Amino acid sequence: MSAFIPFLAVAAGGAIGAVLRFSVYKVVDTGFPWATFIVNIVGCVLASFLMFRYGLDMQSTLRSFIFVGMFGAFTTMSTFSIDTVNLLVDGSYGLAVGNILINSVLCVFGAVCGRYLALL
């Protein structure tokens, strides 16, 4: 039974992350995929902050719950890719490039900020 606990932890974290992500999508509904950007940037900052501040000292099941389950379901690189392809298919090339740039550059910057904040 104890071998299943990490799987249950990931599943529980994933359920929470998915509901949080869905909530952002319900609140932010525009022509540009801002909801995807919001979950990616928030997820990058928070995951980086928590990992660099507390993650190394966390018990492995808790770390799996938070980082694999919750953040894995909350952040949406797969959705980001699909959103970008949809913008390209729609002929919105400028929006597609903008989507790539803000998600790629600003989310990495967000992770750097999270790490910096964790070290304060």
> What pLDDT score was predicted for residue 102?
93
Q: How many residues does the chain have?
A: 120
**What radius of gyration do the chain's Cα atoms show?**
16
What's the CA gap between 103 and 84, in Å, rounded?
Answer: 10
> What pLDDT score was predicted for residue 79?
82
> What pLDDT score was predicted for residue 64?
94
Those residues of the chain that have pLDDT short of 50 are: none
Helix, strand, coil % over all residues of the chain, rounded to 5: 85, 0, 15
> What pLDDT score was predicted for residue 34?
94
Asked if residues 106 and 54 have their Cβ atoms less than 8 Å apart, the reply is no
Tokens of 115: 């790490």
